[in-house]
Amino acid sequence: MKVSRERAGILSGICGIILNVVLCSLKFLVGVLTASISIIADAFNNLSDAVSNVVTIIGSAVSAKPVDREHPFGHGRMEYVSALIVAFLILMMGFELGKSSVERIITPSEVKFELLFVFVPVGSIVFKAGFAIFNHILYKKTGNLNLKAVRQDSINDCIATSGTIVALLVSSMTSLVWIDGAIGLCVSVFVLFSGIGILKDVLGPIIGQAPPKALVDDIKRIMLEEEYIVGVHDVIVHEYGASRKIASAHAEMPADIDVIKLHSAIDRAEKKIFDDLNVDMCIHIDPVLINDADTEKYRAITEKIVSEYCESYTFHDFRTIKKDKGVTIIFELVIPFDEKRSAQQITSELLQKFAQIDESINAVIKVEHAYA
């Protein structure tokens, strides 16, 4: 059965609230009876997880709202916002656990041990592992980032609770009264790192990130299947939640073809991209001269100069403007993100190379990075 992203998030949240409230109550009781700071901290961890589950439900429900006047692109990004809140809750839990653990190391106290007390944390590990698997399956089916965050949080809980069991056993068998705090500190470090990992995953789509290469390749492939599109560049994809993508691209098309035919080709490409990829597409026409001897001559000169200057550079939007005393060539130069030279330096050095070949060439160069 197919489950929507929103329903999966709500289902996970409801199950998580029930599970975490029960575990929190049982662990807190055991923590008080054993005087174990790591078990009490683990109980409050489950309480924060229940709050995270509430956030997941709210985020999933809001992200499913349809478009309105104030939000013409929908509410899909609320999924990322709620996942971001969950990440911060994980970080906060890791910090508080670390703080409590350091205090216990500085002022250790004896931990009481009864075999019966071990059953609660062991049962917690079993249920949390099952909940992690449950969220993993839902995440793989829907791609909902909230479920990925909850899955990682459940794994953190298994590790944290395992630490409390180890601390309980070691404290009962040795005189190392500080071991409870030491294990709690190790667990807190792991939780903090996992929270940072989730934070990175969520911040990507919120800030804006490069689209998947496969998606860009599919967009280019569909566009180039059209008869009059001879080149594609500047593909930009904006994501407003996983179910709403809006993209734009430049299509190089013959300048001597009737504009109505070109517009019809663009319409067909935009429709096919939406039908096949579910992407709202807007294509800009870049007219280019095909089989023009002068244009091909200066394009060949430009290719030679650019490739000799740096093999990883590419260029597009190439055109020429003839003048009485020479020619002006205009193009956009695409450089890698790790390029150390400034755009001004690159332009200056390339202009010198053009002048060495032919002083009548006036090159107008726009330096840019690729969007994908």
Please name the residues in contact with 78: beta carbons below 8 A apart, sequence gap of 6 or more. Answer: 59, 62, 63, 241
The 8 Å CB, 24+ separation contacts for 154-157 are: 154/49, 154/128, 154/129, 155/128, 155/194, 156/45, 156/90, 156/190, 156/191, 156/194, 157/42, 157/45, 157/46, 157/49, 157/124, 157/128
Share of the chain above pLDDT 90, in %: 35
Q: What is the mean pLDDT of residues 92-106?
A: 81
Q: What is the pLDDT of residues 151-164, one digit of tens each?
A: 888 888 888 778 77
Which string of b and e fits 246-279 if b means at least 16 CB within 10 Å?
Answer: ebebbbbbbbeeeeeebeebbebbbeebeeeeeb
Which token pair is 15?
Answer: 């199950």
With 80 as the cut, is the pLDDT of residue 109 above it? no
Q: What is the pLDDT of residues 244-303, one digit of tens each?
A: 889 999 999 998 899 999 999 999 999 999 999 999 999 999 998 888 888 899 999 999
Q: Where residue 117 falls among pLDDT bands split at 50, 70, 90? A: low
Alpha-carbon distance 370 to 312, whole Å?
12
Phi and psi at 278, nearest 5°, equal 55, 45
Task: Let me know if 113 is exposed, middle or buried by CB neighbors in 10 A (0-12, 13-18, 19+).
Answer: middle
Q: What is the mean pLDDT of residues 309-319?
A: 92
* Angle in degrees, 0-180, between the axes of helices 37-63 and 78-106, rounded to the nearest 10: 170
Phi and psi at 314, nearest 5°, equal -135, 165
Single pTM value for the model = 0.68
With 80 as the cut, is the pLDDT of residue 1 above it? no
With 80 as the cut, is the pLDDT of residue 4 above it? no
Residue 348 is predicted with a pLDDT of 95
User: Structural domains in the chain?
Assistant: 5-207 (1.20.1510.10), 213-288 (3.30.70.1350), 293-369 (3.30.70.1350)
Residue 335 is predicted with a pLDDT of 94
**Greatest mean pLDDT among 15-29, 260-274, 323-337:** 260-274
